[in-house]
Structure 1
């Protein structure tokens, strides 16, 4: 039996998105009590776990599926991200290098299709996730960023994939709502959502399908023999198959994954409603805007006229442990607020309603990975979305449901199912190195913003994080 040092402690401060969406979907599910059984147990009630449960149940309605969630569905990354539903097109070069051209093309197309699948699912099941299928703008905010995606665009077009369209600088500024964006390209294959409303909507649909859901039921111990037994504070669940879908928490639960991911924060702020100021700027729909930094600034408006802005790559965890700071108001609220006002000077006097943060499970490649835990054929896992999981988690559900159902298809044959590719250095090298590289990137990008040459040492160190960026290098 394997025990985990992950005692459940309620989150005292709910992220803004989750506060907006709680208790609109039937209240809380019960905690697991006593000895229970199921055909399939899924640990983790976020996007990956719920999509896996739903897609599996759709294909085999007779299966008894139970989902265990340590807190409330959506309390993790699924309910506190920026709501940018993006694809893998911008990372085509990395996909091609890792998996070959044919699989890279398939995965790009699948990631674009996932956006439409999610939109269709919300429409079919009346999930009001504030989903707006208005595309995304990848922009440049200084001369050094101009043309970042041009090689990727050309390579995709050569493969017959029209993922991006070049726009005139004036059109980029107009559609993004900010003259700070001096160039860019547009992709129609993207959307924005209120992320917690999406995950709570999935929760509702899962319950309606007969999937059993137990909230406030953290896994404290696991007996991995078949059938598996998952122990929680109130009881146990015995199942023939198990899926582990706890994402950033996997590193602290399983020593074998401690070096497979690095835990890094993504931090966000959101303004009070101010549609009278946002709409005249030109930001009139649900387009998301991402600049071309390594750790991007990303922003979008909300249907009620707020401006949300976030930035990744701020706080790194030591040893894969989820520190309390990830459940608190963002320590980067002040610089993020300054960024809001740099992009939108007209919002200088608009108050910030809230700030929040959350842990992102950054893999070595920047892509998630899937497999069998310690080779056990009945225990599956999938995580490592690296800060871009709203759309790809649907693909994760396709992979894990295919594995659960013992299917032979493109998903079960994908190299994504072969576990993590590479490891980060051990601690304390990983922690010290991550902060060293992050600070070098900050200095380099500050120099580029000021239109001066960065230090060579900062350029050198920044190369170690290229894969963490939004766009690839050829």
Structure 2
């Protein structure tokens, strides 16, 4: 697209500035814990390990640069799992579902406190998330979460919002929606790179541009330049998890793409969108949008292509068609932006959990976490706390949460996962577009779009 800087890394990482890579691993070494992956989950795990046992020797291996994967490129929504309460209640019952949802608030508050205590300017701003309906068909998209919260005695966590209330927060013609009380926004790259810097400060040994080709159940990680033999290991590689033996059916891989405008503070003022509220709509393949500290509007669409296993596919990061859709939908959401420049575009993979909630557990001496389904900023903080405790064999209320060693739900094998996922994605795109136009998709499209739910799988939104 003419005039748009479309790259793998996007505006967040460009704004945060470059870092000097640490040296790759050369030769063999030992450690108390080896962490594979230096995104939010891996770095939070390393941070919490050092907080719990300052003298512990932690090695982190990262195939690229720490914080430059999905952790540095996402929308920066710091969310809880309250909107997943219906799913959790159905799977584990009301008491355990409430435990998980309450524990997920640790991420929203913990990240804010960490930024303040560690003097990391990650643009943290606490504000409720506003779910909005942009078509009549979306008006009931939030009913399950609203009903579950009311039924379990926490009606303020996700509550209905009238069209008037939603428009008072952002006057973009929304038809109504819901308010998720506990949430925040951050600059995702400033957070991930700040976490990288502070982890190095406390003695974490980080080896970048070091791919873990193999991770054994005995906690031995093998790389092109050497190996790490550890007492225990943590696998925290997001969408690449499916590339490791034993995890090939654990999740699916899709992609999400974002665009960001030039600074438009006058448009934000015109909309009355000055409270910093992140906004998401009621589509299955949702739109999500927020403002930035310097007066831009960032806008994303979760309707990118399907991945194949744990392979890294260029279209998951650089997809002109998905970016074009995101840009066009941005202008449809906010017609006041027509004539204003979209300056940057980017994308990346997401690890889609079969249950829509993250999964943690242990196999041998390897502890794992994956399945954030595009909502990893807040829950990865909690995940790091869980994995650090598992690695230290400290069992407590966090390691007993229902996210740890849940009843297994597997995705289909490849190539059926990719083929079926691509077919379902196409049906969901068509169904959402029909809803936007005020119509209804054909019976066949609705039949295909509803297949995951009939199979017991949960897809975004």
Same fold (TM over 0.5): yes
**Deviation by residue 1:317-345 (Cα, 9 ceiling, x = unmatched):** 12332212234364312211111111111
Cα gap change, 1:201 to 1:229, in 2 (>3 Å): same
Picking from 18, 26, 51, the partner of 1:33 is 26
Structure 1 residues 146-225: aligned runs within 5 Å: 146-161=139-154, 162-179=156-173, 181-225=174-218
CA contact (8 A) 1:285 1:301 kept: no
CA contact (8 A) 1:139 1:291 kept: yes
Unmatched runs of 5 consecutive residues or more in structure 2: 1-6
Superposed displacement of residue 142, structure 1: 0.9
CA contact (8 A) 1:369 1:384 kept: yes
Superposed displacement of residue 247, structure 1: 1.3
| Structure 1: distance between partners of 2:447 and 2:319 | 33
Cα gap change, 1:387 to 1:437, in 2 (>3 Å): same
- Do residues 23 (structure 1) and 18 (structure 2) align? yes
Superposed displacement of residue 463, structure 1: 2.1
Cα gap change, 1:177 to 1:232, in 2 (>3 Å): farther
CA contact (8 A) 1:87 1:190 kept: yes
Picking from 33, 38, 43, the partner of 2:36 is 43
Structure 1 residues 385-396: aligned runs within 5 Å: 385-396=372-383
Which residue of the partner structure matches residue 5 of structure 1? none
CA contact (8 A) 1:271 1:307 kept: yes
**Deviation by residue 1:394-415 (Cα, 9 ceiling, x = unmatched):** 1111110111121221222233
**Deviation by residue 1:47-91 (Cα, 9 ceiling, x = unmatched):** 001111111111111211111111111121111111111111111
| Structure 2: distance between partners of 1:197 and 1:420 | 36
Which residue of the partner structure matches residue 337 of structure 2? 347
Cα gap change, 1:327 to 1:168, in 2 (>3 Å): closer
SS in structure 1 opposite 2:191?
helix
Unmatched runs of 5 consecutive residues or more in structure 1: 1-11
CA contact (8 A) 2:303 2:429 kept: no
Cα gap change, 1:112 to 1:221, in 2 (>3 Å): closer
| Structure 2: distance between partners of 1:223 and 1:142 | 50
Picking from 306, 322, 342, the partner of 1:316 is 306
Cα gap change, 1:143 to 1:129, in 2 (>3 Å): same
CA contact (8 A) 1:260 1:420 kept: no
Superposed displacement of residue 386, structure 1: 1.1
CA contact (8 A) 1:32 1:235 kept: yes
| Structure 2: distance between partners of 1:190 and 1:50 | 21
Which residue of the partner structure matches residue 449 of structure 1? 436
| Structure 2: distance between partners of 1:185 and 1:148 | 9
SS in structure 1 opposite 2:304?
strand
SS in structure 2 opposite 1:63?
coil
Give the alignment's Cα RMSD to 1 decimal.
1.8
CA contact (8 A) 1:269 1:354 kept: yes
TM-score, normalised to structure 1, is 0.90
Superposed displacement of residue 387, structure 1: 1.1
Superposed displacement of residue 224, structure 1: 4.1
| Structure 1: distance between partners of 2:277 and 2:172 | 13
TM-score, normalised to structure 2, is 0.93
- Indicate the larger mover: 442-451 or 190-199: 442-451
Superposed displacement of residue 419, structure 1: 5.8
CA contact (8 A) 2:424 2:451 kept: yes
**Deviation by residue 1:224-251 (Cα, 9 ceiling, x = unmatched):** 43xx332223332221111111111111
SS in structure 2 opposite 1:331?
helix
Count of matched residue positions in the alignment of Structure 1 and Structure 2: 450
CA contact (8 A) 1:403 1:412 kept: yes
- Do residues 92 (structure 1) and 85 (structure 2) align? yes
Superposed displacement of residue 421, structure 1: 2.3
SS in structure 1 opposite 2:360?
strand
| Structure 1: distance between partners of 2:320 and 2:90 | 36
Which residue of the partner structure matches residue 130 of structure 2? 137
Picking from 235, 246, 249, the partner of 1:259 is 249
| Structure 2: distance between partners of 1:149 and 1:74 | 32
Which residue of the partner structure matches residue 3 of structure 2? none
Picking from 378, 390, 393, the partner of 1:403 is 390
After superposing on structure 2, the runs of 4+ consecutive aligned residues of structure 1 that deviate more than 4 Å are none
CA contact (8 A) 1:267 1:357 kept: yes
- Indicate the larger mover: 300-309 or 454-463: 454-463
Superposed displacement of residue 462, structure 1: 2.1
